[in-house]
């Protein structure tokens, strides 16, 4: 995770929530993001990939100053820059 420090990342969880923000720290239980777009993908007709491509193109619109995501709920962590656009 050190290579992700201060970079914009996408955190996929085992729920319908995804978190897109700047990775700042982690501890045993949580990873901490700042300037976060916390988004429930079930509230839109877009696929997760379509939403991520839109965010990559238009930029993150934060709706949280800080979020701690429980590591046990994380499925994947990706750099926002690594999202492939169609």
> Encoding tokens for residue 18?
């995804």
- 61: pLDDT confidence band, cut at 50, 70 and 90? very high
Share of the chain above pLDDT 90, in %: 86
CATH classification code of 2-81: 2.30.30.100
The pLDDT, as a whole number, for residue 85 is: 76
Q: How far apart are CA 35 and CA 72, in angstroms?
A: 22
Mean pLDDT of the chain: 94
List the one residue out of 59, 62, 58 whose CA is nearest residue 19: 62
- Can you give the residue ranges of every domain in the chain? 2-81
The pLDDT, as a whole number, for residue 2 is: 85
* DSSP class of 85: P
Average pLDDT for residues 56-66, to the nearest whole number?
A: 95
- Cα-flanking dihedrals φ and ψ of residue 33, to 5°? -120, 150
């Amino acid at each position: 995770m050190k290579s992700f420090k201060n970079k914009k990342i996408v955190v996929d969880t085992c729920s319908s929530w995804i978190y897109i923000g700047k990775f700042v720290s982690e501890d045993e239980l949580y990873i901490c993001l700042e300037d976060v777009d916390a988004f429930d993908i079930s509230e839109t007709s877009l696929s997760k990939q379509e939403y991520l491509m839109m965010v990559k193109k238009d930029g993150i619109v934060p709706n949280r100053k800080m979020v701690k995501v429980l590591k046990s709920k994380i499925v994947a962590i990706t750099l926002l820059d690594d999202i492939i656009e169609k």
